[in-house]
Chains A and B, each alone.
Chain A
């Protein structure tokens, strides 16, 4: 027992030693097959130069600056760090089973739009190193919609505001108020009183109230306004949404609901992102014409409800072919912290190009959430969020050999590997034995 404690302490010390960021000098990645997802395109054998945590050059035949730290990729594939979208990584530790560790959503009926996941970001979450081992360097943390409450709630509540974080060891927050999450369709209808006919009407009333509040702040403070649908914190949180500055992420599944959401966003002059959109392929041209980006779960091909009878594994390829800006979400936080890349690969098996699939988990989410000036591709001026893979990043047999976040090489260790190594010793299993 004492010995175990000593071992634990030792490993804690070791990991905090590793946690110290390396001096941010010049790092050069050589001998890499670079899939840049940027203007540099695909470079069969190239070099990436990193200075002070930023990419300063990428190309074939670049000189290695004197004194630089060299990472020899040994022919491995270098990609931008993956962006896991739609995940509660860092704000939830153990899933449904231990709700007190889960800050991904609120069940409060007095607060909805103002809910902000960024306050809960925990840099010590054990999921973070695990996600890095799947090549994830950045996360769009979206709040989760809590189930509509029995018997019949009549508030069309928002899930709250998303945040973007990096999985490095400095200040992780890249952006707050990155998007406002709302659910329409069947579940939104349940929340609005049980029918679709109520949800859009209520939503319109809420947005009208936000605009009214925006124009009557003094009256509001003096208690001289009409009764408004939401509390002040929620009203304030929705101002950037009605002003079209913060995207409204709408979870919706059925083709007709998708069109309804697009029409509503156009009329209300909102910046819309569709989420889910299992039947998006059926109205792909309309989505593309409206310039609305779509976040999908690429694995979803089951008629799980009457609003996604048309779910198909070709949704990704069809949306892409129609010209829709496509984001492939992380399949599930708890079961797939390491594998958003596998879902992208699955979409390739069903018609999406490899290039488009990689963009759907790197550059596209960065663009959709307004951080493509910093992340999402290997291009000069961007943060050095880079992964070097042993092979094709979308293949299950490949794994990261190096993960850099803002130019700092992260240790390729997580709690899984600590457990593995402890029990390989106990089981008498030796590498190569």
Chain B
């Protein structure tokens, strides 16, 4: 039965193709008939086979007035206005009057920041509940699994997404785990409720490729008696893969050139693993490289020069502060933590001042969670990092500290033209905080995504809830945000 249906579908696809081809002779000046490959065999024909289906609902005209605005670009405005309309920021500044007809929110005593962006999360691929049946984040069957895509493991009902939203996170990158040299493609998601991952995908965000240095891959495979089991094995593994990718690209280029000349040519067999690596070589896919140690980062940079690609970011990057100048020169961001250190040898030298030192050295830095709890408190992580910088005399500004969890992660994800700051024209991804976001006592009162009120701590109508949490003995989320109030 199943087999029959598949055959029928394949026949239907073939029929479509042959119809297209037979249509050519009817045109006036027929081009050289390209040998159209059947659907799915040309890696370059359809770069977005699992497209985003997220279309923001029409959003109203909203003006938040009298807010202390901490943007990631513009200097802090103690009493300012943010206006959103049709999904976009339309105005932001001091002394702006709310436009006529706007829904007005008086934010006196409260704070506004851009929506927070977490560039390193495993929500959905390691969801809650953390049961074996849904532990889908690490394809630990081969050190190179560049062919897997995180979005195919994301469970959109992970209640962790709504907890992150309560913490002000509007966009996040879901990465495969770090057990492999090449872990697979990342998914960039808007933190909106949807019953499919396609409904969460950030429209047109570039893909990332997760790579991993150091202890994890060599432990995973070394403990199985497999390659690699050492750091030198790791590096040989990366190089072998990039050689295959360069060769694959060369074969496809040769094929396309022949076809363009009208010559007969045999198409190379499509290879999903190498498609992803070729995407990196062509500058379309961004390297997101789990790497703790400074010396290992320097090795990875050499590999990128050897094969001609750019590393977008080192993740965890506990020792970035040791090579700040190199990272600045190479234009590589560090995606790090403030407090995490010492849980393994390669994180032994992690320090609280990492972010502040990179900032002062002129290198790009972001914070991230890598954790379903920490993602709810990225603002506090930024405060701790800023405070450590202050004690070191590094004088980090509040604007810079906010950029670590907004604009800079947007840069890492290649979406900084669309989000990450309150600049007019950008997506209206906005958090209204109950208090100074650098205080542990602050919680988001409201979170807007594309101008839509997506979370309201005081209104259950604006509190998304996973299907999983229905019918469970839980308190209503709205009850949990009445600071000091009745339960």
- Complex Cα distance, B481 from A314, in Å, reads 9
Interface with A: B17-25, B147-155, B384-392, which one?
B384-392
Contact A349 B483 (CB under 8 A): yes
- Complex Cα distance, B482 from A312, in Å, reads 13
Contact A313 B321 (CB under 8 A): no
Contact B386 A310 (CB under 8 A): no
In the complex, which residues of chain A have a beta carbon less than 8 angstroms from the beta carbon of B438? 396-397
A399-B342 in contact given A302-B372, A427-B324, A431-B393 (Cβ < 8 Å): no
In the complex, which residues of chain A have a beta carbon less than 8 angstroms from the beta carbon of B372? 302
Is residue B357 within 8 Å, beta carbon to beta carbon, of the partner chain? Answer: yes
Closest chain-A Cβ to B223's Cβ sits at a distance in Å of 13
In the complex, which residues of chain A have a beta carbon less than 8 angstroms from the beta carbon of B361? 427-429
As a 0/1 sequence over residues 336 to 370 of chain A, the CB contacts with chain B under 8 angstroms (1 = contact) are 11110010011011110100000000000000000
Interface with B: A41-49, A58-66, A417-425, which one?
A417-425
A396-B475 in contact given A98-B345, A349-B441 (Cβ < 8 Å): no
Is residue B322 within 8 Å, beta carbon to beta carbon, of the partner chain? Answer: yes
Partner pick for A349 among B130, B391, B443, B468, CB 8 A cutoff: B443
Q: Give the interface SS of chain A, mostly helix, strand, loop or mixed.
A: loop
- Complex Cα distance, B361 from A50, in Å, reads 44
Contact B348 A431 (CB under 8 A): no
Contact A346 B377 (CB under 8 A): yes
Contact A304 B130 (CB under 8 A): yes
Instruction: Name which residue of chain A comes closest to B474, CB basis.
Output: A310
- Complex Cα distance, B487 from A428, in Å, reads 53
Contact B130 A338 (CB under 8 A): no
Partner pick for B474 among A127, A312, A423, CB 8 A cutoff: A312
- Complex Cα distance, B24 from A29, in Å, reads 92
Instruction: Name which residue of chain A comes closest to B393, CB basis.
Output: A431
User: Could you say which interface size class chain B belongs to?
Assistant: 35 or more
Instruction: Name which residue of chain B comes closest to A353, CB basis.
Output: B484
In the complex, which residues of chain A have a beta carbon less than 8 angstroms from the beta carbon of B485? 351
Contact A345 B441 (CB under 8 A): yes
Interface with B: A89-97, A135-143, A224-232, which one?
A89-97
A420-B130 in contact given A314-B479, A334-B340, A350-B481 (Cβ < 8 Å): no
Contact B343 A94 (CB under 8 A): yes
Partner pick for A318 among B322, B377, B487, CB 8 A cutoff: B487
- Complex Cα distance, B323 from A426, in Å, reads 9
Instruction: Name which residue of chain A comes closest to B439, CB basis.
Output: A395
A349-B343 in contact given A302-B160, A313-B480 (Cβ < 8 Å): no
B341, B395, B473, B475 — which one has the most chain A CB atoms within 10 A of its CB?
B341
Instruction: Name which residue of chain B comes closest to A336, CB basis.
Output: B339
A304-B442 in contact given A94-B345, A310-B473, A317-B487 (Cβ < 8 Å): no
Contact A312 B480 (CB under 8 A): yes
User: Could you say which interface size class chain A belongs to?
Assistant: 35 or more
Instruction: Name which residue of chain A comes closest to B372, CB basis.
Output: A302
Is residue B360 within 8 Å, beta carbon to beta carbon, of the partner chain? Answer: yes
Is residue B349 within 8 Å, beta carbon to beta carbon, of the partner chain? Answer: yes
Contact A303 B352 (CB under 8 A): no
- Complex Cα distance, B356 from A431, in Å, reads 11
Is residue B28 within 8 Å, beta carbon to beta carbon, of the partner chain? Answer: no
Partner pick for B380 among A282, A305, A342, A353, CB 8 A cutoff: A342
Closest chain-A Cβ to B437's Cβ sits at a distance in Å of 11
A-B contact count (CB 8 A): 176
Closest chain-B Cβ to A321's Cβ sits at a distance in Å of 7
Is residue B344 within 8 Å, beta carbon to beta carbon, of the partner chain? Answer: yes
Q: Which residues of chain A from 293 to 331 have a CB within 8 Å of any chain B CB?
A: 299-306, 309-310, 312-314, 317-318, 321
Instruction: Name which residue of chain A comes closest to B346, CB basis.
Output: A97
Instruction: Name which residue of chain B comes closest to A134, CB basis.
Output: B339
B160, B321, B479, B481 — which one has the most chain A CB atoms within 10 A of its CB?
B321
Is residue A335 within 8 Å, beta carbon to beta carbon, of the partner chain? Answer: yes
Is residue A379 within 8 Å, beta carbon to beta carbon, of the partner chain? Answer: no
As a 0/1 sequence over residues 266 to 310 of chain B, the CB contacts with chain A under 8 angstroms (1 = contact) are 000000000000000000000000000000000000000000000
Closest chain-A Cβ to B376's Cβ sits at a distance in Å of 8
Instruction: Name which residue of chain B comes closest to A354, CB basis.
Output: B441
- Complex Cα distance, B387 from A314, in Å, reads 27
- Complex Cα distance, B340 from A431, in Å, reads 24
As a 0/1 sequence over residues 401 to 427 of chain B, the CB contacts with chain A under 8 angstroms (1 = contact) are 000000000000000000000000000
Closest chain-B Cβ to A139's Cβ sits at a distance in Å of 16
Contact B131 A305 (CB under 8 A): yes
Contact B129 A304 (CB under 8 A): yes
Is residue A255 within 8 Å, beta carbon to beta carbon, of the partner chain? Answer: yes
Is residue A416 within 8 Å, beta carbon to beta carbon, of the partner chain? Answer: yes
- Complex Cα distance, B484 from A294, in Å, reads 21
- Complex Cα distance, B325 from A356, in Å, reads 46
Is residue A181 within 8 Å, beta carbon to beta carbon, of the partner chain? Answer: no
Q: Which residues of chain A from 79 to 103 have a CB within 8 Å of any chain B CB?
A: 93-98
- Complex Cα distance, B359 from A109, in Å, reads 50
As a 0/1 sequence over residues 185 to 216 of chain B, the CB contacts with chain A under 8 angstroms (1 = contact) are 00000000000000000000000000000010
Is residue A114 within 8 Å, beta carbon to beta carbon, of the partner chain? Answer: no
- Complex Cα distance, B436 from A184, in Å, reads 41
Is residue B469 within 8 Å, beta carbon to beta carbon, of the partner chain? Answer: yes
Partner pick for B440 among A349, A428, A433, CB 8 A cutoff: A349
Is residue A394 within 8 Å, beta carbon to beta carbon, of the partner chain? Answer: yes
Contact B130 A305 (CB under 8 A): yes
Closest chain-A Cβ to B485's Cβ sits at a distance in Å of 7
Partner pick for A97 among B343, B384, B481, CB 8 A cutoff: B343
In the complex, which residues of chain B have a beta carbon less than 8 angstroms from the beta carbon of A313? 480
Is residue B53 within 8 Å, beta carbon to beta carbon, of the partner chain? Answer: no
Contact B129 A306 (CB under 8 A): yes
Is residue B397 within 8 Å, beta carbon to beta carbon, of the partner chain? Answer: no
- Complex Cα distance, B479 from A281, in Å, reads 13
**28 A–B pairs (Cβ distance < 8 Å), ordered by A:** A93-B342, A97-B343, A98-B344, A299-B376, A300-B373, A302-B128, A303-B129, A305-B129, A305-B130, A310-B473, A310-B475, A317-B487, A338-B352, A348-B441, A349-B442, A350-B480, A351-B482, A351-B484, A396-B384, A396-B440, A398-B387, A399-B391, A416-B341, A424-B392, A427-B324, A427-B325, A431-B394, A433-B360
**Pairs A-B, 6 closest by C-beta atoms:** A97-B344, A431-B393, A345-B440, A95-B343, A334-B343, A396-B383
- A306-B131, A397-B439, A416-B341 are known; give 14 further A-B pairs, CB within 8 A: A97-B343, A302-B128, A305-B129, A305-B130, A321-B487, A342-B384, A348-B441, A351-B482, A394-B440, A395-B441, A416-B353, A423-B321, A426-B322, A430-B393
